[in-house]
Amino acid sequence: MFFLYFLSEVMMKSQVALFYVLIIMNEGSAQSLKPRRSVFFSDVNLKLFKEPDFNGLSSLLVREDIGLLFVGARGKVITLSLDDITVKTSEVNWTVTSKEKALCKVKGKSIEECDNYIRMMHTLDDGRILVCGTKAFNPTCTHLMFEEGNVTMEDSFQNGRGKVPFDPNENFASMVNGNTLYTAGSINFLGTVKSFQRHGRNTLRTEPIWSWLNGPNMISMKFAEISKHSNNNEDDNVFLFLTEIKIEAQRSNLRLSRVARVCKSDLGGLRILQKKWTSFLKARLDCPFGDEGSASLVQDVFFLQDENNVTDSIFYATFTLSTEPSSTCSQSAVCAYKLSDIQQVFRGNFMTFTDSGSWVRYTGTVFSPYPGSCINDEMRTSGVRTSRDLPDSTLLFVKNHPLMEQVVTPITGKPLLVRSTAQFSKIVVDKVTSLDGEQHNVMFISNNSGWLQKAVWSGDDGGRIIEDLQLFQDPQPIRFLQLSRRGQLYSATRTAVAQLSVRDCSRYTSCADCLIARDPYCGWDHLKGLCAAVAGASNFSMIQNLIDGDAIMCPSSHSVSMQITDIHLTADVAQFLPCFPDANLPISWSFSGKILEPGPRHILLSQGLVLTPSFTDEGIYTCETVEVVKGREHKKAVIQYQVKIGRQGGRYFSTHLFTYSLIIVSFGALGVIHMYKHWTQKSPNHVRCGQCGSDPCTNRAIASRGLERAKSTVENRFVVK
């Protein structure tokens, strides 16, 4: 019996010590921008749709007018209720025949690739949905109709080549304006020829030369109604965001981010650039972060339109780093760009290709009208009513000079926020009105591990992540994000769809927590005694402070004294006192009412205290979170220990026994390090590094998994009351 007790204690202490080692590993890593609170899957209030045969999810469409979420997947389109996505309302199958699949396989494609993946769905003016699928590498389009509560598919089909890619895994971009479809992607079976096109009566496409598009990866397309607020009735714009191989340097494989622009009413040229864009211009899109030798690559773009002046609208974009082979860093960032700044770049200097094979600033004569300009009143007065009225000299210049000299820079000159623990994927932004009538832009940023960051940015204190929410239990890329006017966020991976209310304030359990978090959606309802959404609420019942989160506004209450945990420690033996706050905040320790400073007997860590006690160290130890907002310090007690010191032997843990546990821990730590090295080599989302500019990569993910496993052991077994 003594041996079993001995072994049990050794294993228990080993787990505690291993927990200590994992914390030190985590402490030693540099910090990136941390969320205030991380909420794991089991604690997130969301709805999840998932079926056994549901996979290959490849498109998502919100139809608020009929209250449905359309989900395009492998061989089917299903509809879910916008109010509750667990309610499936219809399913329309659109599969390939055995003959089509056999022909596809003959062409060298796999069984999976030869299915029909619904890659595109857009609502047309008449309410029908244009839907296109890869159809066994034979892109095909048709329409979905919603009548009397039923979703049906038309019997007629159209060639979808150039509208969606042949390859179900290829990135592409598309949008519909009215009934006009714009697409950017490959137009051939091999995926080697890519084009930015407008379909319909006046079909246009990019000139098939490398200076226009050089190995592009299409990301996103946005429409800006410039004419609505233009003083000279300038034509509306269509923006394409992409990455491509750098053309400014010879023999370079470096990819850069670009933004390209065309004019909505472009009709092509009369003789030169027939059925080609006459307004296609592109510029480098810069989001400066990371170490030298890396380029930031745009991953997704959200266009937040300004209702009063469209030129004040903002493009929010996620970026990841493209690193040189020598670099070992992986980071992500969000940058924001003002529409008027992009317009200014397209009115600037052109680059020209020289005989020496390099691109330099064009210093020759610039033709009138200004090449690439969208039609406006001034041009109409001069006789240029459409692009077909443009002189051949202007069109020839546009054909040979698609690249602008100036770089599009973010509105702050730097990213709104940077993280190094997961790769950002999609982004949506919601404009929220707080109780004081001010508007705040709340960003929802997904990553490749199934998590969602809820963040805000202000000029006073920069970017901050309010919450980090785990939407999917298994780590997997979030491929789609859609936000409804009802305050519901819909996200999807390849196998599941999640629904989340962005106005959920239930995770803030006290008035102080509700206000200090400075969540624009939430305020403290002092009549109901809970944190609730401020939308539609009155200032009479609600309080909110987004400036400094001052909790002094909270109603006074009689605080309940915290229960003190009695523990018995052994003199001169290093032992761990855990402290797990419910938020990702720094902690401080006090001993008998005085702040505890680091020393030989006190090692202060972010998850607890390593104490090597003497008999003078008996007393009360208090762990508190410390949060500083606008210079004001907020403290909250997490746990208190009444420490009693005993001699070695007896019922206390002996030095020899602890030595054995340290031997086991040494092997355990080596195993953790080995696992960490293996994991960093395997995972594309987390890589080891030294310094990446001012925000290095971290090993937080591997350490946090160990911390979570060890945490329960520490909480359940280490503390002896």
- Per-chain mean pLDDT for the chain: 84
Res 342 pLDDT > 90: yes
Residues sharing a CB contact under 8 Å with residue 489, sequence separation 6 or more, in sequence order = 428, 444, 452, 481, 482, 483, 499, 500, 501, 502
Query: What radius of gyration do the chain's Cα atoms show?
Result: 30
CA distance 259 to 224: 14
pLDDT at 561 (0 to 100)? 62
- For the chain, what are the domain ranges? 9-41+563-718, 52-155, 171-420
**422 or 415: whose pLDDT is higher?**
415
Q: Which listed CATH number (2.60.40.10, 1.10.10.10, 3.40.50.720, 3.10.129.10) goes with 9-41+563-718? A: 2.60.40.10
- At residue 379 the predicted structure's pLDDT band, cuts being 50, 70 and 90, is very high
Q: Pick from 290-294, 538-542, 599-603 the range whose average pLDDT is largest.
A: 599-603
Q: What is the mean pLDDT of residues 452-470?
A: 91
Whether pTM > 0.95 for this model: the answer is: no
Q: Which pLDDT band holds residue 716 (cuts at 50, 70, 90)?
A: very low
Please give the pLDDT value at position 421: 74
Look at residue 283 and tell me whether its pLDDT is greater than 50: yes
The string of DSSP letters for 559-609 reads PPPPPEEEEEEETT--EEEE---SSS--EEEEETTEEPPPBTTEEEETTEE
Q: Report yes or no: 490 and 444 within 8 Å, Cβ to Cβ.
A: no
Using pLDDT thresholds of 50, 70 and 90, give the confidence band for residue 560: low
Helices (H) and strands (E) in the chain, counts: 8, 43
If you average pLDDT over each of 317-331, 442-456, 603-617, which comes out highest?
Answer: 442-456
pLDDT at 1 over 80: no
Q: How far apart are CA 690 and CA 317, in angstroms?
A: 26
Long-range Cβ contacts of 597-600 (<8 Å, 24+ apart): none
pLDDT at position 396: 95
* Confidence grade of residue 459 (pLDDT, cut at 50, 70, 90): confident
pLDDT tens column, 384-416: 999 999 999 999 999 999 999 999 999 999 999
Instruction: Give the pLDDT band (50/70/90) at residue 691.
Output: very low
What pLDDT is recorded for position 16? 45
Q: Could you name the CATH architecture of 171-420?
A: 7 Propeller (2.130)
Do 75 and 93 meet the contact criterion of CB atoms below 8 Å apart? yes
